[in-house]
Structure 1
Amino acid sequence: MHDKLFRSPVALTVGLGFKREIASLAEMHDFLTNWTTARRGQLYHNAVEACGLAMEGCVARDEARHAFVEFAQAAGILWPEIEPVIVTRAVARGYGGYAA
């Protein structure tokens, strides 16, 4: 199964700012299979086809990864290259610690 790993994983934004890394063709296939039907477009279908062909050995893993990255960019789920900074800060004023 190690021959099906990508050279570098594809980081995606899932949920409310959570990061998920896709590191293999099997993970890519699983993610695409569970992708919502309403948001499936041409780039989705290209990624699915590239994944299937790469699993069969007809195309290189890098080509499948590239198709997956294009799909993720178009869907707006590709994790940004610069890590986002998420900060929460307690507020001391108002009632019960909340800003009034």
Structure 2
Amino acid sequence: MLSKPFDKPVRVWVGLGFPRQLNTVVDAYQFAVDWCGNSPEQKAAIRACKAALVGDVDAETARGVFVAFARRKDILVEDGEIPPVIGNSRPTHA
């Protein structure tokens, strides 16, 4: 049950606008398990990560499902989105 790194890390917002980088399937699995909620997207992310951990799917498949979960919950740090240097909230989208 070894976790392979993602080709490209996933960054998510945590707390009061702080980014967290998830580099592996284990990172994404732990984040999804710890996330407060019980949505279908969260369950799918957990299942995909579990499947990747046992070798049923590759890490990039699990990453894609996890990214869909994070995007749906509006916690995905999109490419080009710069985390705030000072402040306590996420940047707003125009």
User: TM-score surpassing 0.5?
Assistant: yes
* TM-score, normalised relative to structure 2: 0.80
Q: Which has the higher helix share?
A: 1
Work out the number of aligned pairs and report it: 86
Aligned to 1:92: none
Q: 2:22 is paired with a residue of what secondary structure?
A: strand
Give the secondary-structure state (helix, strand or coil) at the position aligned to 1:82. coil
Query: How high is the TM-score relative to the length of structure 1?
Result: 0.76
Aligned-CA RMSD value: 2.0
Q: Does 1:26 align with 2:26?
A: yes
Cα distance between partner residues in 1 of 2:79 and 2:29: 23
Q: Which has the larger radius of gyration?
A: 1
- Give unpaired runs (5+ residues) of structure 1: 89-100
Q: Which amino acid aligns with 1:12?
A: V
SS at match of 1:20: strand
1:5-51 C-alpha deviation (Å, 9 max, x unpaired): 10110010111111100000111111112111xx3211111111100
For the structure 1 residues 14 and 53, does the alpha-carbon distance in structure 2 shift closer, same or farther, using more than 3 Å as the test? same
Structure 2's unaligned 5+ residue stretches are: 87-94
Distance between the aligned counterparts of 1:66 and 1:79, measured in 2? 14
Identity score, percent: 34
The corresponding residue for 2:81 is: 83
CA contact (8 A) 2:18 2:83 kept: no
Q: Structure with the greater relative contact order (CA < 8 A, sep ≥ 6): 1 or 2?
A: 2
